[in-house]
A and B are shown apart, each in its own frame.
Chain A
Amino acid sequence: METILLKNIHNPNSADISEYKNIGGYRSLEKALAMEPQEVIDEVKRAGLRGRGGAGFPVAMKWTFAAADPKFPKYLLCNADEGEPGTFKDRPILEKNPHILIEGMVISGHALKAEYGYIYLRGEYPAAKHILNKAIKQAYDNNLLGENILGKGITFHLAVHQGAGAYICGEETALIESLEGDKGQPRIKPPFPVNIGVFSKPTVVNNVETLSNLPYIIEAGGETYAKIGTPDCPGPKIFCVSGHIEKPGVYELPMGTTLKDIIYTHCGGIKGGKKLKAVIPGGISTPVLPPDKIDCHMDFVNMPKHGSMLGSGAVIVMDETVCLVKVCYRALRFFEHESCGKCTPCREGTGWLRAILERIEQGHGAEGDIDLLLSVAGNILGKTFCPLGDGAASVVQNFIKHFRPEFEEHIKAKKCTVNG
């Protein structure tokens, strides 16, 4: 398939505006600026674009809410806080193809009548910060950002706001708090950001990959775009594959490509020809799948039917040498570290789950610990302020659901039975 989002990234100068323009960059912006904002929204609606951050919310719907709010100025925030472990899909766009994002943001800004945009970039991407700042400067110099863009009377200012190491800021209201100079703790919803967002103004938060789809949607038209992928979830999707895989990396494939195809057709199968033991399909918060469940279409609609989620499309492949108790423990260490502390179940529960897993992993597990894990996870699930706690609980539940014997053996043998 011809790549849309990762087009030209193998060109060493792909981040430069002239290279981007050479391959037709910013022509969609010109086209979009000639359209009425509502026409842009309609085009996106025809495209059926869903948010690529993980939730898959229809983009046109979110935009419509924000556009309908009478308050100004409006803000467009790009969520570049790619923190879901296993995820590195946005990084190539940010580092190698920044202008597709900028162009996408200006188009979106026009559609929303938003005058200000920020790219909320995770602190762990220092290189991307410099690249984006340079690209933004080039865009300003070329009258593609700022006042009266391309002489069309449109204003859109853009700046990079760097996060500082907090996974929770990927949650849109936490991101907004963080942009406002506060702790990244999620807000009560409603009100939703589309009405009361950053600086109390209507705000749309879209993921890097989502926004980068805009130039193509405008260029090719929504209908053409919608032919890519599946009818429910059109468009290309960047999958990032890591772990025990022959050819790890980023792959731009149609939405709905099966997990099996990704692993075996595109990525060359399990590293060293070893046996597949487990796959996390969409980043660490998504339910782990055993090998017999990987023949599933990777999209927002189909994955839940297979007991998991598309998430960020971050595929982590684990072969037979991996101790899943340890992976589960490591995952909970992550959730404990990233819990913002606002709500009781997540703040106290993630640490407790980690503690139980830690003792099992270190050979001090006791009978009843698995039930205790499930009970504690159950006391978290559905009771937390935001989805972070749910993610932690469901990781434990799903590892136990699919790999309970391994946990039992670990407890019984008082040591790891996979790697001795």
Chain B
Amino acid sequence: MFNDASIKEIAEIRTKYPNSRAALLPALYVAQREFGWLSPEAYEAVADLLSVPKATARGVGTFYAMYKQKPMGRHLIQLCTNVSCMILGAEKLVDFLKNKYGIEPGGISPDGRFSLVIMECIGACGTAPAMLVNEDFHENLTEKNLEETLEKYR
């Protein structure tokens, strides 16, 4: 079940749309934030609140790459490896994360601190390679500044 603040937030989101179904995507974001990932309970909570069938809610949720279908680490690293980033060394950074922190793409670091998701272009091609950690952009990455950056996320 959602906490009261989330219920209120979703009710407010709902007012932006002519029907409750349209509030599904933003409500799933709220659920993901509150539950940590879109667990069956999270889907049910959203489905109940918006009066959307739960299977439908899950079908929609699983369509989008940014909704997480399994538990996540404390911080989410979204590293781009699409062409502009790749040709400027993004793949080496993937290897670096694996070696340094023990995170496989799509996985969680053994200490539960980071999740790593490989992204398909995050719109930072001019400053490639780039990543998002949670909601923050980090650009012109090298192994060195990547490590320094991640130190800020405990």
Touch between chains A and B, by CB atoms below 8 Å? yes
| Shortest beta-carbon distance from A229 to chain B in Å | 22
Instruction: Give the residues from 86 to 101 in chain B that come closer than 8 angstroms, CB to CB, to chain A.
Output: 86-88
Give the docked Cα–Cα distance between A125 and B82 (Å): 16
> Contact between A331 and B22 (Cβ–Cβ < 8 Å)?
no
* Contact A85/B135 with A164-B64, A199-B19 known, Cβ cut-off 8 Å: no
> Contact between A322 and B87 (Cβ–Cβ < 8 Å)?
yes
- The stretch from A9-17, A38-46, A86-94, A368-376 touching chain B is A86-94
Q: At the interface, yes or no: B119 with Cβ under 8 Å from chain A?
A: yes
> Contact between A86 and B83 (Cβ–Cβ < 8 Å)?
yes
* Contact A85/B21 with A124-B122, A248-B126, A338-B120 known, Cβ cut-off 8 Å: no
Q: At the interface, yes or no: B2 with Cβ under 8 Å from chain A?
A: no
> Contact between B83 and A331 (Cβ–Cβ < 8 Å)?
yes
> Contact between B22 and A167 (Cβ–Cβ < 8 Å)?
no
Instruction: Find B128's partner among A87, A124, A159, A242 (CB 8 Å cutoff).
Output: A242
Give the docked Cα–Cα distance between A93 and B124 (Å): 14
| Shortest beta-carbon distance from B93 to chain A in Å | 15
| Shortest beta-carbon distance from B10 to chain A in Å | 13
Contacts of A125 in B (CB 8 A): 123
Q: At the interface, yes or no: B7 with Cβ under 8 Å from chain A?
A: no
Give the docked Cα–Cα distance between A90 and B60 (Å): 26
| Shortest beta-carbon distance from A303 to chain B in Å | 19
Instruction: Find A162's partner among B19, B25, B122 (CB 8 Å cutoff).
Output: B25
> Contact between A181 and B64 (Cβ–Cβ < 8 Å)?
no
* Contact A181/B123 with A126-B132, A316-B83, A327-B87 known, Cβ cut-off 8 Å: no
Instruction: Find B121's partner among A86, A183, A184, A280 (CB 8 Å cutoff).
Output: A86
B-side interface size class: 35 or more
> Contact between A126 and B135 (Cβ–Cβ < 8 Å)?
yes
Q: At the interface, yes or no: A250 with Cβ under 8 Å from chain B?
A: yes
| Shortest beta-carbon distance from B118 to chain A in Å | 9
Chain B residue at smallest Cβ distance from A271: B88
| Shortest beta-carbon distance from A279 to chain B in Å | 12
> Contact between A88 and B63 (Cβ–Cβ < 8 Å)?
no
> Contact between A83 and B126 (Cβ–Cβ < 8 Å)?
no
Q: At the interface, yes or no: A298 with Cβ under 8 Å from chain B?
A: no
Give the docked Cα–Cα distance between A123 and B78 (Å): 12
Give the docked Cα–Cα distance between A77 and B109 (Å): 40
Give the docked Cα–Cα distance between A141 and B39 (Å): 39
Chain A residue at smallest Cβ distance from B65: A165
* Contact A165/B64 with A82-B123, A88-B123 known, Cβ cut-off 8 Å: yes
> Contact between A318 and B87 (Cβ–Cβ < 8 Å)?
yes
Chain A residue at smallest Cβ distance from B64: A164
> Contact between B25 and A86 (Cβ–Cβ < 8 Å)?
no
> Contact between B121 and A181 (Cβ–Cβ < 8 Å)?
no
Q: At the interface, yes or no: B35 with Cβ under 8 Å from chain A?
A: no
Q: At the interface, yes or no: A180 with Cβ under 8 Å from chain B?
A: yes
Q: Mark B116-154, 1 if CB is under 8 A from A, else 0.
A: 000111111111100010011100000000000000000
> Contact between A181 and B84 (Cβ–Cβ < 8 Å)?
no
Contacts of A248 in B (CB 8 A): 125-128
Chain B residue at smallest Cβ distance from A88: B123
> Contact between B120 and A244 (Cβ–Cβ < 8 Å)?
no
> Contact between A124 and B123 (Cβ–Cβ < 8 Å)?
yes
| Shortest beta-carbon distance from A238 to chain B in Å | 12
Q: List 15 A-B contacts (CB under 8 A).
A: A85-B83, A88-B125, A127-B135, A127-B137, A163-B64, A165-B65, A166-B63, A178-B25, A181-B23, A240-B126, A242-B126, A314-B125, A322-B87, A330-B86, A337-B65
Chain B interface (Cβ < 8 Å from any Cβ of A): 16, 18-19, 21-26, 28-29, 52, 59-60, 63-67, 78, 81-84, 86-88, 119-128, 132, 135-137
Chain A interface (Cβ < 8 Å from any Cβ of B): 82-88, 90-91, 122-127, 159, 161-167, 178-184, 199, 240-244, 248-250, 280, 284, 314, 316, 318, 322, 326-327, 330-331, 334, 337-338, 340
**Further pairs besides A124-B119, A334-B120, A337-B120: 12, Cβ < 8 Å:** A91-B124, A124-B66, A162-B26, A163-B25, A165-B64, A178-B25, A181-B23, A181-B52, A182-B24, A199-B19, A314-B125, A331-B83
Of all A-B residue pairs in the complex, the 7 with the closest CB atoms, nearest first, are: A165-B65, A181-B24, A164-B64, A165-B66, A242-B125, A126-B135, A85-B121
